[in-house]
Every structure is written in structure tokens, then in C-alpha cells.
Structure 1
Amino acid sequence: MLETYSGTADPSLARVVFLWAVSRGLQAVRMDVSTAFLQAPIKDAVWLRLPSNLPVEVYPGLHVGVFIRIQKAVYGLKDAPKVYTSYFKKKVRSLGWIEISESILVRKNRKGEPVALLVMHVDDLFLFSPSADEDVKGIQGLFDNDKPEKMDNGELHLYVGMSIRMRLGEILLDQSSYIQGMSEGVSEKARKPLTEKDLLLPEEKDVDLSLQAEQQKNVGYLGWAVKTQPSLSFLFSHLSRSNSHLSRSSVLATEKALWHARETARPLRLSSVSSIPCLLVWRDASYELAKKEGRLGIEIQLVDESEIANLEKINEDNTVFWLSKKLARKLGSTTSAELLAMHDAVKSSWSIAHLVRKLWGKMLPVVVVTDLQPLMFQLSSKQCKSEPRMQGELEYVLENLAELGAKVKWVQSGSMRADRQTKFLHCS
């Protein structure tokens, strides 16, 4: 079987390692591997029949119809990305770089502590190090690279489709230019505030499948903006559902969402934490009794443990994960929806917790936040008396909370950060 999949770093985990690098005060450099695929040899025998339009005068001895064996992972081969990324990781291991998560590599000191970081996006490398020039030279000794770009000088730089501004103690992930551009083509009618009425799914009689391309283009724009804008996550999730219920009103809603993004967008700020951070997990759910349907929302931050004493005053800095998702199963109550939100929240916490332990060297404290007293009662009593069919979900949550060493804290509904992932909030 031919392996073609070549992974990239999970965006939420990339934000975690960026925060670690900022907290360490590391230097930062971006670099491209030149014609990356052509630098990776292939083991399998791949033969190519030369095409009829080949300029044979450039290659003496070759002529139309000749078969040649390919020596490198040339562009166009389906497994070229996989071949290259595997080859790159194997080669840089000789320099001490070890992969700790998909496409995230670290270099350790003699004590076994991570001291430098390398994030791969195929041939695009983002390197953080106390001695960046030395690490760059090491990689240049193995691969041909374009001229490195210093990233920690406070200026705006481009990295895999987003702008990054890095300065002492913080890194700003900014998509303002992209968001401005994606909203320029919206109609005058769409340049008005988005309302809850705009988000209603159209009636069957209004469906117009000819609008599919326009609808999907707008939703695609929104999906890319969500990578730095947690407040747009609900809109993206909700409007994606209308891709099968296309109408003039649904297209207008996506245009209004793009204009809303333009008006509300701001950089995502990752600021230095002083010690082992605390994993702060906000989770919430909404519930429609008439349809027996729910939606969950999750936001996860890495904050200083001292901030936990006053949850209401914690700002949005260091938000590394967010999710808005329609629950697939029918539910009997708000508490059931909240319990499923808790289930997904603790499940989503593990990958971040494991990565933090590898970087900071210790298991971090975890705090999960809820605004529902009935759920607090279920957690303390360890029973779902009103809905016994949810007992298995409760036991899963309790087991994972215990393994994470997590504490559950209650806040008033008005202070629940994840609320914006379950419904449209005009102030987001």
C-alpha cells in the first residue's frame, strides 16, 4: 500500500508551542527548504515514460518514449510529500531534533530538557532557539534553503497564510489583511449587522442549488479566518450546515458573516506565562427543547495559576483551542447537553496536557469551568438519576477528570467564556 499522507502540526498544538517559545524568550527564524521534494531520495522503483513534447536537445541521449527511473521525490508523485517529510525528520535527527507531536520537533540539552523548537509545515520551517543562527546553519548543512527570515523583531511577517508579529513576551497571530480582503467583494446589502434571523435555515421551497459555489466559497473564507478568531467559530459551524440548504438568504448570511468578521477581527495574543501554566477549560452547551437538540462549545487557555482565583477577570489571551459543534444525538435535557460538552472538553484536553508536560517537564494543573449547577450535582453525586442512560457518559467524564487531576469550578452564566461557541453573540 502506498503511503501518501503527510501530516502538519495541529493548529491548537502549534499555538501551545508558540506560547512555550515566547515564555522562554527564544529567538525566532522562518526558513523554506528549497525545492524540498527534489532533495528527498525515493526507495521505490518509479519509472517515467518521457512525453512527446520533451525538449530532448537539452538532454542528449533522451528521446520520446524512453523510460527513465526517477531518483528523487519529484513534484507530482502522490507520495512525494510523505517521502520528503519522513526524510527531513530522519536527517535532522542527526542534529538532535526529535519529534514530540506531528511536525513539532524539539532539541534537548544534556539534562533532557527541551531548549529549542522546530515547527514544520511541509517545507516551511519555524524555528525557535536561544542560538537560532547555529541551528539554522545545522539545517543548511543538510538541505538547501532560502534565505532565513528573522521573526522576533516586532515587525509583521507572513507564515502559512497568516501574519505574525513577535516581540518580547508575546506573539500576535493576525489575519486582519486576509479578513479585509475576503470581505471586499460582499454586496452592499450584506454590509449591515448580522442578526439571529439571518442564521435561520431556509425553507425547502427556497432552496437553490445553483448557489452552491458562492456559498461554499464564503464559508471557506470564514473557515480560514477561524484559525485566529475564536469568536467566529460558532458562525462557521452553523453556516456550514446550510451548505445543503442553499438559498439567497443563506448566501446573504455568509456575506454578512464575512462583514461581521471584518468589523470584529483582532489579533490572537499569546503572552508569556511565568511558570508551569494552568490548563483552563471553558465548556458550555445550548439546548432546544422542541427539537431535543444541543450544541457544545469549548475554549481552552493556558494561564498563570494565580489567575484562577478570579475567573471573571481573565481575558482572552493564550486561548489555544476552540470548538463549536452541533451534537448529533437527541437529548432529553440541558444537563445532558452540558454533560456531553464536558465529555468532549476533557477529551480535547489530553493532547494539550501531554504536550505541555513534554515542554515544561511537569503535568500541569487543570481547571474545568461550568455554569450549570445540576451538572455540578451530578459530578459530586456520581449519578445521573433523572437520565440513567447518560450514566456511562458521566463515568467517562469522572474517570478523565481524575486522571487529569482536574478541578471543576462554577461561574455565573454571564462569565462563561464558551457561551459564544454555542450561540451568536453580537458583542463577540
Structure 2
Amino acid sequence: MEMGVADVTAAFLTSKDHNAERVGATLPCVLPRVPEENPFKNIPDDKYEELRRMAAEYEPGGTYLVEMGLYGLPCVAQLFDHKLEGVCKELGFKRVDTAIAVKAPPKGRRAQAIVMNWIDDLLTGAPPKEHKVLQETFNKRLGFGFVCMIGEGSERKFSRVDISRVSMGKIHLSQVSYLENTDTASLWEILKEKHPTKPWKGLDGKSAEPSTKEEVDNQYEKPIRAGVRTLQWGVRMNPLCVVWGHTVVQSISKPSRRVFKTVVRIIEMLKRHPDKRVFTSVVLVPVVHVYFDAAFKFATYATQLGYVVRILHSIELRGDLRSLLENWIAWATKRAGRKVGSSTAEEVLAFEFLLKKLFGIVALIKAMWGLKKVRVIVYTDSGPLHDQFRSGKAQTNATMQGVLEWYIQEMRVLGADL
């Protein structure tokens, strides 16, 4: 399968505005004169004459309805997404997830082609002959400003992510270039400190705690917001560190020097250790391996939830650490919305957090491989939760029994094993 990256030129300007509430524009009192002869080499003469006639219909100082999606207008990204989805449907693609469309294959066969987009950046994949036609068609309908192939041994950027095609069956994703181009010198100037020469040992509980009333200093609000945006981009390909971004974002409403310094230090750590995600092709029927866990803090009864989803070609797991970090296709973490009183209760919340997302992930895998069923294996390190799930009987109260029965029902629908 060939892969390609493309950037759509003036994507929003080519998308018709179909919002219920529209925007009008008032023209200046003086408009520039339109030359009679065509001064543009890239515009045909007949097209230029048509544009001249259209321009003559507008009067200086007049107010007119904006028909296309201009940058800065409400929902402009959704307008282009709607147009892109329409073009994909005409070409036989089906939207199977947010920003992912596949060429629907016959039953029992994997997807023939795939199109992914991040706003106006496209990532395409298809067999060589079909891929060339696919890119040419999209170029005619949408207009590419930049397009390139990701061949074996090459590396390209897509939405601030470095895509390195090591071989036909292995891909590395990272944000090395993004982090290298992130200059933290100005951030240390705000702190009025010199750039540290020794590497930071790591994030501890105290440095990540929300600011106290005495620490709050609003002058750090804007720098923290800017730093957190950079941090959240920087951990997209580093799921082991994504919790850091979620932790510090909770302190935006209570900015302080300590929290801002923590953000800067985390960015520095990511720059020194830009992790790579490794993906190897799954030629046979995929098996979904899912892990969930929770971190429970007795002092505050607060809980952090998280999960990781992998796809492999078998139910067996290799024991080495390198293979454990391969083929992660989805991961997420969040802080629990309520306090819990035990480690088992926190595992229950993490299980719920996972199940609400797992159906969509499994549906995507089914669409990609053209399958009706997918083997799903869920792993837990909680003995009490595992025993209660196996027996179908909760060890606490009626509320927990109802929750447990819901879990068992959802797992049966998924066809998953715990």
C-alpha cells in the first residue's frame, strides 16, 4: 500500500456556508479597478472574464451575504469537513470514525483505501495504481497546495507528527521535529532563571498539585496556557507522558509560578526524550488487546483513570519491553469526576471509562479489516474486580451489583474476555 500526505489550499474558502445563521460583509467605499486584460498567468482568460463580470455586480459600500467559509467564521472547520465527507462518499468511501474514511470492501476483506484528515491536512493510503488516481481526484475536487509520497525509507510530516516508513511493514510515529523546534529560552526568561544544565529527574506529586490560594499569581495565566498548548501537542505520540498534560491543565484556573515552571520542565524532558510509536503491519486477522488502570490517592481520594488499546496478529504476547510498546492505536487518561473510597472502586471507574470508548474503536477495526467479529482481550491487575466479574456477584451493595451486571452485558456484546 502506498501512503501520501497532502495539504488542501484555501480549504475553507472552497466550502459553502450552509449554517442557519449567516454572516454579511460591508465593502469599502472605494474598490480597486479591475484590469481589462488578464494579469494572472494561472487563470484562463475565459475564467478571468467571468470573474470580471461578477466583480462589476458589487457596489462600493454595499453589504453582501458571505456564501463561502471564510477563516475566522463560526464552524468553518466543520464546513470543510462536510465538503470532504461528501467528496469521499462520491468516491465510494464510508466515514467510520471522526476524520477517518475507508473504501468499503466486499464482506470479509480489508479496506481497499483509507483517507484520514486533520482539518485540511490529508493522509491517504491505497494500492499504487489506485492511490495515484485517488490523489489526482482529490486534487481536482479540493485543490492541493502540497502533496508528497511516503515511500520506504522516507519521512514526512503530517499535522506536526513525523511519519517515518522504516519498511513496507513498519512505521515510526514521533514528534521529534516539533519538539526540536520548540524554543524554551523565552519561557525561562519569564521565570527569570537560567536554562538548567542538569536534566530534570521527573514529575513528582507536589510539583503537579494545583496551586494553593497563597501561590496564585495571575501574571502566569497566559504563559501557562501557551505552555500547556505546546505540552498537549508534545505528548500526542507519547502516551506514557500524556497524563502530565492532563494534570497541569487543571491548574490553568489557578496559575502560579510553580505550576508554570513544572510545565516548562516537562517540555524540556520531552525534548530530551522524544519517544517514538512503532507500528508493524497486522497481515492476518487482528486481535485487540486492551489494558486499563487507575491511580488512587488516599490523601484526597482523587483518582486518575487511563487505558491503552493495541492490535496484534495473535492472542499471545511477547515478553520483551520493546514489543510491549508496539502497535498502540488508542490511549487516553482523565481525572475521575467523583471521589472513591477504595482501590477496587477506582478500577471500576477505569473499566467504565474504557468501555464507553471501546465500542467505537472496535467498530473502526471491523471496518478496516472488513470483519463481523473481532477478538477482544481486556487485562486487569485487580484481583477483586476480576473475581467479581467471573462470579457475577458484587461483594459490596446493590448499586455495585447493577454496575457489575452492566459491565458483563457490555463485554458480551463486544465478545470480549477479561
> Is TM-score (shorter-chain normalized) higher than 0.5?
yes
C-alpha separation between the residues in 2 aligned to 1:86 and 1:322?
A: 27
Partner secondary structure for residue 172 of structure 1: strand
C-alpha separation between the residues in 2 aligned to 1:129 and 1:120?
A: 15
Equivalent residues of 1:180, 1:262 under 8 A apart:
yes
Q: CA deviation at 1:183?
A: 5.5
Deviation digits for residues 345-376 of structure 1, max 9, x if unmatched? 22221111011111112221111111121111
Equivalent residues of 2:208, 2:259 under 8 A apart:
yes
* Larger relative helix fraction: 1
Question: Which residue is equivalent to 1:318?
Answer: 327
Alignment-mate amino acid for residue 49 of structure 1: T
Question: Which residue is equivalent to 2:232?
Answer: 223
Equivalent residues of 2:7, 2:120 under 8 A apart:
yes
**Pairing partner for 2:121 from 119, 124, 148:** 124
Question: Which residue is equivalent to 1:334?
Answer: 343
C-alpha separation between the residues in 1 aligned to 2:12 and 2:250?
A: 38
Distance 1:285 1:42, change over 3 A: closer
**Pairing partner for 1:84 from 77, 80, 85:** 80
Question: Which residue is equivalent to 1:37?
Answer: 12
**Pairing partner for 2:62 from 60, 63, 66:** 66
Question: Which residue is equivalent to 2:221?
Answer: 212
Alignment-mate amino acid for residue 163 of structure 2: I
C-alpha separation between the residues in 1 aligned to 2:398 and 2:322?
A: 37
Question: Whose radius of gyration is greater, 1 or 2?
Answer: 2
Report how many residues are paired. 383
- Residues 87-106 of structure 1 correspond to what in structure 2 (within 5 A)? 87-106=83-102
Q: CA deviation at 1:224?
A: 0.8
Question: Which residue is equivalent to 1:49?
Answer: 26
Distance 1:200 1:145, change over 3 A: closer
Question: Which residue is equivalent to 2:48?
Answer: none
Partner secondary structure for residue 88 of structure 1: helix
- Residues 367-378 of structure 1 correspond to what in structure 2 (within 5 A)? 367-378=377-388
Partner secondary structure for residue 115 of structure 1: coil
In the alignment, does 2:391 pair up with 1:381?
A: yes
Task: After superposing the two structures, state which structure 1 stretch, 86-95 or 398-407, moved more.
Answer: 86-95
Could you state the TM-score of these two structures normalised by the residue count of structure 2? 0.83
Question: Which residue is equivalent to 1:12?
Answer: none
In the alignment, does 2:351 pair up with 1:350?
A: no
Gaps of 5+ in 2: 36-54, 189-194
Task: After superposing the two structures, state which structure 1 stretch, 279-288 or 88-97, moved more.
Answer: 88-97
Could you state the TM-score of these two structures normalised by the residue count of structure 1? 0.81
Question: Which residue is equivalent to 1:163?
Answer: 162
Q: CA deviation at 1:328?
A: 1.7
Partner secondary structure for residue 205 of structure 1: coil
Task: After superposing the two structures, state which structure 1 stretch, 246-255 or 312-321, moved more.
Answer: 312-321
C-alpha separation between the residues in 1 aligned to 2:392 and 2:365?
A: 29
Deviation digits for residues 78-136 of structure 1, max 9, x if unmatched? 34433333233323433223322233222245668420111123332211010211212
Equivalent residues of 1:343, 1:393 under 8 A apart:
no
Distance 1:147 1:153, change over 3 A: farther
Question: Which residue is equivalent to 1:307?
Answer: 316
Question: Which residue is equivalent to 2:256?
Answer: 247
Distance 1:255 1:378, change over 3 A: same
Indicate the RMSD between aligned Cα atoms, in angstroms.
2.7
Distance 1:271 1:95, change over 3 A: same
Q: CA deviation at 1:223?
A: 0.7
Distance 1:90 1:279, change over 3 A: same
Alignment-mate amino acid for residue 176 of structure 1: V
C-alpha separation between the residues in 2 aligned to 1:312 and 1:162?
A: 24
Question: Which residue is equivalent to 1:140?
Answer: 139
Alignment-mate amino acid for residue 13 of structure 2: L
Distance 1:246 1:48, change over 3 A: closer
